[in-house]
Each structure stands twice: as C-alpha cells, then as structure tokens.
Structure 1
C-alpha cells in the first residue's frame, strides 16, 4: 500500500511537471499573428505627420491665387494649409491670422513635419504668412508653402535671407 501511494504521488508530480513544462513552451512559442505591426503612439503620430507632408507635396507647382483654396484654381498660403489639413479631418481657418491661434505653440527648434510656421514683419504687425513644416534638423527648416511669386514650393526658410527674418511662431495642430 505504501508503495502504490508513493507511486501515485510521483505520478501526480510527474504529470504536474509535464503540464507546467508544456504550458511554458506554448507561452514562449506563441507568436503575434496580426498582419498589422503594433505601433507606439509616437510612431503612429509620426506616420500621420509624414502622410500630411506627402499629401502637401502633391501640390507643388500649383498656382498662387489670392484667397485661393483649391488646387484647380490655386492657393494662397493659408488656403493651402487649410486645404491640406481638411483632407485629414483637421479643420483650420482659411486665414493665417486665425490659424496662428489654433493648435499648441511650440519652440522652433522642436518643429516637426506637419507643424505650421507663421511669419510676421514686425512684432506689432499681424501674421502675414503661414507654411507647413516638411523637415527640421536644426540647421535647416524645410517647409511647403504657397508664395505669391512661385506658387506652392518647398523651401528652407532658415537659410532664406527673406523668410528667416520674419519667422514668428510655430503651432502644432496635429498632437492631441
């Protein structure tokens, strides 16, 4: 009797160890079968920002038109940014002076793709221009904007003798 009780206890322990080992192996070898990679919130936002910039870049070469708000007739600066963001369900005023009040303020060195750069001639003057950030490495600040003389273009405003002097503020209209 003692012998069979000992055998039963050993068999139970053996079976318990086998179950634990099997479960551990199953947990370790389980794979994520999702086709879509899980993105961190920051990388989702950066992907969204890249999409905004890529969409804006599609309109390079579009004509300038005062108060213009679409690619068929042309854009002014704020009509361009408003049009681009409307494609992503972000509603911006069609006036640069009002856009400058939307979103969150940022330091220029922290400007990211998709942020808006605003320009002012003097501190007492109203905002007169807006552009959309394409890239910022601290040495150059590439934007896409609609200019009166050249229409929608890409330009490095930090290395522009004209634009650099008028940079006033940066707004983030993407981050929540």
Structure 2
C-alpha cells in the first residue's frame, strides 16, 4: 500500500525541523578569549636552584628518626624525600634504598640537588644521605639532617668525618636520570 503524500510531507517536515533544532549542538562555543597557555616547565638548572633554595630554608629543623616534616623533624632520608617531593621528584625510602634511584654519577661531577651517600665501613650498608647545595672549586657544600645537629650545612672536604665516609652520588633530577633508572 503506497504511503500517502501528506504522511510523506509530514515526515520530511518533522525531519527538517529536528535537524534544524539539532544544529545548536554543533555551533562553536562563544569565544571566551585566548586559551591559557600551559605552564612552561622550569629548566633543569632553575629547578635545581629552586630545590636547594627550599632545602636551605629548612636549616635548623630538628632531627627525628623516621621524621618527614619540618613540624615533626627529619631524619636524613625523610629530609631528602621531603625536599625532592615538593618539586614533583618522586623518591622514597630509607637512605640505602635511595642509593638505587636515579643515575649514578662521579663524585666530582655532582650538581645542586644531587644526592651523596655515606657508609660507616668498607662494604657496609649505606647509612646516610645528603643533598648537594653546590660544587665549586673542589668544595662540595651539602645539606642534611644529622642526629646531633638537625638540618645543617657542611662542606664535604672540610669534614674529616663525612669526607671519609662518602661513597657514591646519584642524580635524580635530570632527564637522563629518569631514563637511567625508573623512579618509584
């Protein structure tokens, strides 16, 4: 049975009206000005400087075994993790665990923000970690949480205690460090 002409016309008219109404969904949104540009990531050098500036501001914080905050106090690994985590660098664990994160670097090539590790005896397990503040003219300034003095700055080469125990350094900041060893 053939469709009646008025039914066809009604169908086409309803289809046309529904298509017209649906066009509102395809109109571009009103221009609300320029879209915000994404924040540019800081250069590695400026990131390193920001990290050590922040660490330096924590001088004088008290020591507390297992501590991870300025309010409660820091132990050495808690201090290092706190500072780096503030800048989105995901490191964690005790000092001996941190020794395997990032990329191993030569002691004479450390830069601000790199980590130094210490052992009490040859072949012994890492017992301490510090953050490099600077490495200029053969003098490596480091900041760390010590059990007797809290968060302090020392110059590695001027401390017979720390200089005799330093064993390795790790870079956890540069891009090559992220590719060298997956960070947690």
Q: Same fold (TM over 0.5)?
A: yes
Q: Distance in 2 between matches of 1:63 and 1:151?
A: 4
Q: Are residue 109 (structure 1) and residue 98 (structure 2) matched? A: no
Pairing of 1:12-161 with structure 2 (within 5 A):
44-161=43-160
Unaligned regions of 5+ residues in structure 2, if any? 1-39, 176-184
Question: Deviation digits for residues 70-114 of structure 1, max 9, x if unmatched?
Answer: 100100000000000110111111310110100000001100000
Structure-1-length-normalised TM-score: 0.74
The number of residue pairs the alignment matches comes to 136
**Residue 122 of structure 1, CA deviation:** 2.0
Root-mean-square deviation (Å)? 1.6
Q: Distance in 1 between matches of 2:128 and 2:161?
A: 12
Structure-2-length-normalised TM-score: 0.71
Residue 165 (structure 1) aligns with: 164
Q: Distance in 2 between matches of 1:88 and 1:61?
A: 21
Q: Distance in 1 between matches of 2:59 and 2:93?
A: 19
Question: Deviation digits for residues 120-167 of structure 1, max 9, x if unmatched?
Answer: 122321000000000012421100100000000111012101100000
Q: Distance in 1 between matches of 2:99 and 2:167?
A: 10
Runs of 4 or more consecutive aligned structure 1 residues displaced over 4 Å after TM superposition:
none
Partner-residue secondary structure (3-state), 2:43: helix
Q: Distance in 1 between matches of 2:81 and 2:93?
A: 6
Partner-residue secondary structure (3-state), 1:163: helix
Q: Is the 8 A contact 1:132 1:144 kept in 2?
A: yes
Q: Is the 8 A contact 1:109 1:138 kept in 2?
A: no
Partner-residue secondary structure (3-state), 2:160: coil
